[in-house]
Amino acid sequence: MRAVIKGIGSYLPEHVMTNAEMSKIVETSDAWIQERTGIQERRIAAEGQFTSDLGYEAAKAALSDAGMTADDIDLIIVATSTPDLTFPATATIIQEKLGMKHGAAFDIQAVCSGFIYGTHVANALLRSGGAKRAILIGAETFSRILDWTDRGTCVLFGDGAGAVLIEAIDDAQENVEAGILHTFVRSDGRHRDMLYVDGGPSRTQTVGHLRMLGNQVFKHAVTDIAQVMRDCAERAGVKISDIDWFVPHQANQRILNAVAKRLKLRPGQVISTVAHHANTSAASVPLAMDRAVKDGRIKRGDLVMLEAFGGGFTWGAALLRY
Ligand code: ACO
């Protein structure tokens, strides 16, 4: 069995918050933010608009792209660190919004690596017969967990959602070349204090705010992302130089540039949306991939590497033929 991406979609909230608007909230400047991160603007969810609302819109777009309805799918996985509620899973809220009364739905929590972890899990379930068609969604409202007095973090993040529809296909019968070729995920809990939220139901009974040692995270991210992509490609029996497109987690343009330099990637091979989306955590990879598919860069048959790094630390990569 192979897990093949049949549809992709995304959704961004309407409100565009520019760096100029940000500089009215904290002492910062467009020049500082652009020079250190490449970010020009980010989207912010409206009052009363929740992670499930963003994820639902992205799921509908992926279903429509695949020419399918909720009746055709039997699994929903949502990668998020900003669920609507502590429980139930945001995936079940989206399931109800889609009018889906069958199948199963659950959330995955791996912070910014959530979509890669979700790809890892969906691939395993689809290939082993655990489901036939899954919608994998990355959806976040990080604006709700930011400390809007901390200029070192609040300028970096935004809200959004992206989704893919993945189908299990018997390649002996259908002779397909497309599909997820390999996924490789890692974590190292020793570094959890470098990037975390200082609240939660069990410890504080509060939601908490994002805390980060930015320059420490930066160093680990560059080293670990480059290594996990090498490992994923090697395990798939593919050379980095054979890969057409790289769709990274969109945290910081300087991280993307540093990783591209280490892996000697060709100019233009790395999809970047960080200037307009900022860091949307688990939503950033499907948002960026959707952009590159819709504007015609990523085509059917292309070899695509997805990667991400986030709190935990967690990190990982997924290699697929689109
Ligand atoms: N505007 C203006 N000045 C600022 C701002 C701001 N928004 N934020 C920090 N500064 C100041 C600091 O106060 C400091 O001033 P000082 O020298 O007078 O003390 C100075 O800028 C330098 O601060 P640093 O934190 O050392 O700046 P650095 O070059 O490391 O850039 C940044 C900070 C952009 C956060 C960088 O470290 C980074 O991108 N790290 C990676 C973070 C990341 O991508 N995290 C997400 C990955 S995982 C996930 O997505 C959840």
The mean pLDDT value of the chain amounts to 97
In angstroms, how far is CA 41 from the centroid of its own chain? 18
Domain limits, the chain:
2-174, 179-321
- pLDDT tops 90 at residue 173: no
Q: How far is the CA of 166 from the centre of ligand 1 (A)?
A: 37
Q: For the chain, what is the largest distance between any 2 Cα atoms, rounded to a whole number of angstroms? A: 60
Q: How far is the CA of 214 from the centre of ligand 1 (A)?
A: 5
Q: What is residue 66's predicted lDDT score, i.e. its pLDDT?
A: 98
Eight-state DSSP code of residue 225: H
- pLDDT tops 90 at residue 126: yes
Q: What is residue 58's predicted lDDT score, i.e. its pLDDT?
A: 99
Q: What is residue 83's predicted lDDT score, i.e. its pLDDT?
A: 98
- pLDDT tops 80 at residue 282: yes
Domain 179-321 top-level CATH class:
alpha beta
Q: How far is the CA of 215 from the centre of ligand 1 (A)?
A: 7
Assign domain 2-174 to its CATH architecture: 3-Layer(aba) Sandwich (3.40)
Percentage of residues in the chain having pLDDT higher than 90: 98
Q: Give the chain's count of helices (H) and strands (E).
A: 11, 13
- The pocket around ligand 1, CB under 6 angstroms, is made up of 28, 32-33, 36-37, 111-112, 151-152, 155, 195, 212, 214-215, 217-218, 221, 251-252, 255, 279, 281, 309-311
> What atom of ligand 1 comes closest to residue 22's alpha carbon?
7
- Residues 297-311, mean pLDDT to the nearest whole number: 98
Query: 262 pLDDT band (50/70/90 cuts)?
Result: very high
Q: Tell the residue nearest (CA) to atom 28 of ligand 1.
A: 215
Tens of pLDDT, residues 93-112: 999 999 999 999 999 999 99
Query: What's the whole-model pTM score?
Result: 0.97
Q: How far is the CA of 218 from the centre of ligand 1 (A)?
A: 9
Pocket test for ligand 1, best of 30, 81, 194, 217 (most atoms within 8 A of CB): 217
Query: 172 pLDDT band (50/70/90 cuts)?
Result: confident
Q: What is residue 267's predicted lDDT score, i.e. its pLDDT?
A: 83
- pLDDT tops 80 at residue 128: yes
Alpha-carbon distance values, 153 to 146, 195, 256 (Å): 7, 10, 18
Tens of pLDDT, residues 22-76: 999 999 999 999 999 999 999 999 999 999 999 999 999 999 999 999 999 999 9
Same fold, 2-174 and 179-321: yes
Query: 125 pLDDT band (50/70/90 cuts)?
Result: very high
